[in-house]
Structure 1
Amino acid sequence: MNIWKKKTLEQMLHSAEKSDLKKNLTAFDLAALGIGAVVGTGIFVSTGVGAHLAGPAVVLSFIVAAIVSGLCALTYAELATMFPVAGSTYSYSYVAFGELIAWIIGWDLMLEYLVSSAAVASGWSGTFIGLLSSAGIILPKAITSTPAAGGIMDLPAILITVLVTWILFVGIKESAKLNNKIVIVKVGVIILFIVLGVFHINLINYKPFAPFGWSGVMAGASIIFFAYIGFDAVSTAAEETINPKRDVPRGLAICLAVVIILYIAVALVITGMVPYKEISENNAVPGALARFGINWGAALVGTGAVIGMISTLIVMLYGQIRVFMVMSRDGLLPKMFSNVHPVHKTPTLCTIITGTIAGLMAGFLPLDEIIKLCNIGTLFAFVLVSIGVIVLRKTMANVVRKFKCPWVPVLPILSALACVYLMSALPLVTWIRFVIWLLIGIVIYFMYGRYHSILQKEDPKKK
């Protein structure tokens, strides 16, 4: 068996053509999917976490993370138009690097989306509990805190994951419609926060601007990068898009433009309103308004955050389910995981399994550790995508590219180096956990995946 065996473009497109998934999504749907994924826990929660690491210079952390995300988005756009199939980086790697690397990146993506989903559910729970507390409703700590925080479980995080899993099971068209409506709501409440907060900025709060220096800015960026995770989920929806070669690049561009403007504006306003040491890590945006007695605004923004994070969870779980399904379709995971429901046309078993695991992680693991693990997995995936663009320009030079990443190989190299730089700012314990996860994945591949791989079983004489 050749563990470096690559899929051809024809093989990849053929498997997508046989798919039972419905093609319902437009460029607006994709942009909303991306915004729905990115504008969520990151802006409502991790803004506070980043401010404690970087001070008011957290706005620079957002800009650094935005630049890295923008570079990666250009590489994603090229590959997504070349390969309009589900599976994102996993599928691209199968063509660029071969089966073993594809498995490793698929296993890594499973970590990214699972952990992202758990982090969003955990962040949603914190905001929801804060909203209830402001209304005088106090829930027992035993059912609202993880064991690390002195509770038994975070029950709200588990329940919201169950609800979203059911929504995804019903179907992507219905999920996209709900996501589009939620995106409008949460963008609206973020704009409301900016408008209300800008009148309460005190310039003294910006001094010192960078109390922890450039190292603090980069530490903030390595955590805040979580806030941009999700735009790559747009590429996982390519197989269910009406015109992927046109709509995927457009969806990515609209998504990142909206997100970058909103994030930088919120970072400037919140650090101007509240001294960085006093910004709430679990309820940053509504808490800033409540501090100035704008309780109606805090309640409205808090409600919008609670509603808005649901769409983020929808997209995160969606991305995981689709990667899970494609790996199963290729034989690297048991075939039953890619079975599609006859009525809803969604992958049944992997939807249930994904929702269950994400719910358990959100219910029992602390949010800060979840975010760190999520970031390293995502950055690793972005490194491979960036390198993949360079490789495929050489090995598949004649394939039509509806969108071309500019300045290849310089821009993809910068993208990969930027991702590695952010990875280097993460703690050693996060690296250790990541390596353990990858080693477990490699063991599974050599014990199961390579023996059941459809590509490995294929007769090389049949072309």
Structure 2
Amino acid sequence: MDILKRAFQKESISGYLEKDGQMARVLSTKDLIGLGVGTVIGSGIFILPGHEAANHAGPAVAISFLLAALFSGICGMAFAEFSSAMPVAGSAYSYGSVIYGEIIGWLLGWSLILEYFLAVSAIATGFSAYLNSLLQQMGLGLPTMLQAGPGQGGIVNLLAVLVILVATFILFAGLSQSKKVENAGVVLKIAIILLFVIGGLFFIKPANYADFYPKQFQTGFLGLGGITAATASIIFSFLGFDTIAAHAAEVKNPTKTMSRGILGTVVISSTLYTLFAIVLTGIVNYKQLGVDDPAAFALQTIKQTQFSVVITIGALIGMFTAILALIFASSRLAYSFGRDGLMPKALGHVNAAHLPKNAIILAVLVEAFLAGFVPLSTLTNLINIGTLTAFMFISFGVLILRKRKDLSHNGFKMPLFPVLPALTALLSLFLIACLPMITLHLYAVWVILGLLWYFFYGIKHSTIQSK
């Protein structure tokens, strides 16, 4: 068979459903929203509103969050439609393999694995910074050599490694236990965020909104350059809903549950982000918010120091639940690669507790190494481009999905077809173009590495080849 024809051969949904029969369907709508909100309301809400207000949009950063939420919500509809029609593990990787062919599915999965691994490592690094700051206030801070990797003047970021290992220990306790921890953490951090929003309303200074969208940020088309740049960066915050799709093989009644979990996550998260940004920029002038802990800084500025400690604890809980959910998602994606033979088949094995043990171990080893030893500042935007690439292909894929007569598709359907899916795909491409050039170059290198792996290993061991 011609190698290109072979590479674009499509996987069957029945094959995926048969392979995923070893996974236990135990997740409810509440559990999915817990996983989604647990990921979305992570480090982003405690860091990004300040940085993006100071560097790109001023108080209009609230509009950027609304735009990012609207865009993510529409993309969420595309994922909801796919996950209703194909309740299998692997998210965009599996959907791409069925709709476009194996090589496109592989490249989408290759992009998502980059997104998940880097996101876990980046959030673990943020967790380490927050926790070490809190420990220093108590006189218990770690030595400098244990606060960062070799590239940043230390030996290892110890706390970042430890938080990943603790999250892994919880995951190995079983799906039932890990979802209880995730759901409890989500409830607690939402309560802390609402405390900040409600309490902060009493300290808002209307003068801080006077220069709502500062002139220095009004660049590009219609002067929206600053808001657009902020929106492109904020997309990272909403990657949680697409991780939900990675668990479709473990969901009860996926035809209805998947769409409710994805869309519920987007609605809750976008509301919290927008309210948080409005209150934050009302308490403190946007020019002062270019710090890593803007909420705690704002509370200290208005002499509410005791609440700044509460916010720090909320940030730690938020980041921990995000790490837990992302390790969960990345291990399921690695499992999907092993299930299909594109990576060693040992990754596709599931133990007696219905956990992909080998896939979890691989994910944790990579994520702990990156968090402990590699400075991630240059690579952060790669998280965004991996997310946006998946958004683009899945949104456009809805156009193809509706034409497939071999797929039973009685669940959620994306509205305003075919205009909305096509428009969302084009917007994803536009936001990719808004990312820094260095990000595009690094992503091109990653794609080339993925192609080399596929043609030298994956295509030879793929289970499609054996059919």
- CA distance in structure 2 between the aligned counterparts of 1:256 and 1:417, rounded to whole angstroms: 20
Match of 2:317 in 1: 307
Measured after TM superposition, the shift of residue 321 of structure 1 is 0.6
Give yes or no for the alignment of 1:392 onto 2:401.
yes
Deviations 1:353-396 (A, max 9, x none): 21121122122334543431101111001101101111111233
Match of 2:210 in 1: 207
Match of 1:379 in 2: 388
Question: Aligned match of 1:47 in 46, 49, 72?
Answer: 49
Deviations 1:235-286 (A, max 9, x none): 1111111211111111112111111110000000111111222115311222
Residues 108, 377 of structure 1: 8 Å contact kept? yes
Bigger mean CA offset, 201-210 vs 182-191: 201-210
Deviations 1:147-195 (A, max 9, x none): 4543333221111111112222222221111100000000000001111
- CA distance in structure 2 between the aligned counterparts of 1:232 and 1:390, rounded to whole angstroms: 19
1:2-17 to structure 2, matched below 5 A, reads 2-17=6-21
1:12-23 to structure 2, matched below 5 A, reads 12-17=16-21, 19=22, 21-23=23-25
Q: 1:7 to 1:411 in 2, by over 3 A?
A: same
Bigger mean CA offset, 78-87 vs 132-141: 132-141
- CA distance in structure 1 between the aligned counterparts of 2:139 and 2:364, rounded to whole angstroms: 31
Bigger mean CA offset, 126-135 vs 187-196: 126-135
What amino acid is aligned across from residue 174 of structure 2 in structure 1? G
Deviations 1:275-330 (A, max 9, x none): 22211531122221122121221111211211221111111111111011011111
Give yes or no for the alignment of 1:423 onto 2:432.
yes
User: Secondary structure of 1:129's partner?
Assistant: helix
Bigger mean CA offset, 388-397 vs 232-241: 388-397
Residues 78, 401 of structure 1: 8 Å contact kept? no
Residues 234, 251 of structure 1: 8 Å contact kept? yes
- CA distance in structure 1 between the aligned counterparts of 2:288 and 2:158, rounded to whole angstroms: 27
- CA distance in structure 1 between the aligned counterparts of 2:254 and 2:81, rounded to whole angstroms: 11
Measured after TM superposition, the shift of residue 422 of structure 1 is 1.5
Give yes or no for the alignment of 1:181 onto 2:184.
yes
1:24-173 to structure 2, matched below 5 A, reads 24-53=26-55, 54-173=57-176
Q: 1:339 to 1:370 in 2, by over 3 A?
A: same
What amino acid is aligned across from residue 357 of structure 1 in structure 2? V
Measured after TM superposition, the shift of residue 203 of structure 1 is 1.8
What amino acid is aligned across from residue 358 of structure 1 in structure 2? E
Measured after TM superposition, the shift of residue 455 of structure 1 is 0.8
- CA distance in structure 2 between the aligned counterparts of 1:396 and 1:333, rounded to whole angstroms: 30
- CA distance in structure 2 between the aligned counterparts of 1:149 and 1:270, rounded to whole angstroms: 30
Measured after TM superposition, the shift of residue 9 of structure 1 is 2.5
- CA distance in structure 2 between the aligned counterparts of 1:278 and 1:136, rounded to whole angstroms: 27
User: Secondary structure of 2:342's partner?
Assistant: coil
What amino acid is aligned across from residue 308 of structure 1 in structure 2? G
- CA distance in structure 2 between the aligned counterparts of 1:65 and 1:366, rounded to whole angstroms: 27
Match of 2:221 in 1: none
Question: Aligned match of 2:458 in 424, 449, 453?
Answer: 449
Tell me the percent identity: 37
Measured after TM superposition, the shift of residue 438 of structure 1 is 0.8
Give yes or no for the alignment of 1:237 onto 2:237.
no
User: Secondary structure of 1:246's partner?
Assistant: helix
What TM-score, normalized to structure 1? 0.95
What amino acid is aligned across from residue 308 of structure 2 in structure 1? A
Give 5+ residue unaligned stretches, structure 1.
Answer: 459-463
Bigger mean CA offset, 202-211 vs 446-455: 202-211
- CA distance in structure 2 between the aligned counterparts of 1:264 and 1:389, rounded to whole angstroms: 29
What TM-score, normalized to structure 2? 0.94
- CA distance in structure 2 between the aligned counterparts of 1:93 and 1:197, rounded to whole angstroms: 45
Residues 90, 333 of structure 2: 8 Å contact kept? yes
What amino acid is aligned across from residue 156 of structure 2 in structure 1? M
Measured after TM superposition, the shift of residue 69 of structure 1 is 0.2
- CA distance in structure 2 between the aligned counterparts of 1:439 and 1:370, rounded to whole angstroms: 17
- CA distance in structure 1 between the aligned counterparts of 2:16 and 2:357, rounded to whole angstroms: 22
Residues 162, 356 of structure 1: 8 Å contact kept? no
Match of 2:333 in 1: 323
What amino acid is aligned across from residue 427 of structure 1 in structure 2? P
Measured after TM superposition, the shift of residue 92 of structure 1 is 0.6
Question: Aligned match of 2:414 in 405, 420, 439?
Answer: 405
Give yes or no for the alignment of 1:256 onto 2:258.
no
- CA distance in structure 2 between the aligned counterparts of 1:420 and 1:230, rounded to whole angstroms: 20
- CA distance in structure 2 between the aligned counterparts of 1:281 and 1:174, rounded to whole angstroms: 35
Residues 126, 283 of structure 1: 8 Å contact kept? no
- CA distance in structure 2 between the aligned counterparts of 1:312 and 1:71, rounded to whole angstroms: 22
Residues 133, 141 of structure 2: 8 Å contact kept? no
Measured after TM superposition, the shift of residue 334 of structure 1 is 0.6
Bigger mean CA offset, 315-324 vs 148-157: 148-157
Give yes or no for the alignment of 1:294 onto 2:304.
yes
- CA distance in structure 1 between the aligned counterparts of 2:314 and 2:356, rounded to whole angstroms: 30
Deviations 1:420-440 (A, max 9, x none): 121111111111111101110
Calculate the aligned-residue CA RMSD, in Å: 1.6
Q: 1:305 to 1:62 in 2, by over 3 A?
A: same
- CA distance in structure 2 between the aligned counterparts of 1:130 and 1:226, rounded to whole angstroms: 24
What amino acid is aligned across from residue 451 of structure 1 in structure 2? K
Measured after TM superposition, the shift of residue 138 of structure 1 is 3.4
- CA distance in structure 1 between the aligned counterparts of 2:407 and 2:156, rounded to whole angstroms: 54
Residues 231, 255 of structure 1: 8 Å contact kept? yes
Deviations 1:31-64 (A, max 9, x none): 1111101011110122222122222111111112
- CA distance in structure 1 between the aligned counterparts of 2:149 and 2:64, rounded to whole angstroms: 29
- CA distance in structure 1 between the aligned counterparts of 2:89 and 2:324, rounded to whole angstroms: 16
Give yes or no for the alignment of 1:221 onto 2:224.
no
Give 5+ residue unaligned stretches, structure 2.
Answer: 219-223
Give yes or no for the alignment of 1:369 onto 2:378.
yes
Match of 1:461 in 2: none
